[in-house]
Amino acid sequence: MVFGDSLSSGYGLPRDTGWVSLLRDRLQQERLDYEVVNTSISGETTRGGLSRITQSLTAHHPSIVILELGGNDGLRGQPVEATRDNLEGIIKACQQHGAKVLLIGMRLPPNYGMGYTQKFQNIYPELAKRYRVPLTPFMLEGFGFDTSMFQADRIHPTAAAQPIILDNIWKTLKPLLG
């Protein structure tokens, strides 16, 4: 189950070109018997995710949850502590339901200030270590500062960037697939 925001819901992309669709294709190509459920919502925050995680876990019974949230919190300048607490609650809920968690890290543009951006970025490795979950440090690694790989809003990656996102995530997801 992919549990994320617009970066995982395929915002602004042609149908079936987002990284989650590409993940479905790769699982099939590798003959790995997994069904991918995308419960991502554009604009989702960690607070919203925390409020709906139990329902999603109960409805879908995932063996693995790819948790990709926090970017909207950071872009809105939410307190880092609240973002961390919400992500922690989501991770705990997943683990209590017997799901493995893959945490997807996010970074903020430097215009949010060095102090805030560093505290925000540190949330992900801290939680990964505390809860012993694998971490993809930055889903936009390799192109995050290349404006040609983003839609006009300069927030959402283009279709050309989606295979790179999948490759970034696949490195830490594949060992969970057994």
| pLDDT, tens only, 55-90 | 999 999 999 999 999 999 999 999 999 999 999 999
The CATH number of the domain holding residue 128 is 3.40.50.1110
Mean pLDDT (the chain, rounded) = 97
Model confidence band, residue 92 (pLDDT cutoffs 50, 70, 90): very high
What pLDDT does 89 receive? 98
pLDDT score, position 178: 79
User: DSSP 3-state assignment of 98?
Assistant: coil
Residue 162 above 90 pLDDT? yes
144 pLDDT higher than 90:
no
pLDDT surpassing 90 at residue 151: yes
What does the block give as tokens for 111? Answer: 């215009």
Share of the chain above pLDDT 70, in %: 100
Q: Which domain holds residue 111?
A: 2-177
Pairing of strands 100-104, 2-4: unpaired
The number of folded domains in the chain is 1
What three-state secondary structure class fits 105? Answer: coil
Residues carrying an active site annotation: 6, 153, 156
Report pLDDT for 116: 97
| Antiparallel, parallel or unpaired: β 135-136 and 100-104 | parallel
Are β-strands 64-68 and 135-136 bridged in parallel, bridged antiparallel, or unpaired? unpaired
pTM comes to 0.97
As a whole number, mean pLDDT of residues 40-61 equals 98
pLDDT at 122 over 90: yes
Indicate whether 145 pLDDT > 90.
Answer: no
143-174 as b/e, with b when 16 or more CB fall inside 10 Å? bbeeeebbeeeeebbebebbebbbebbbebbe
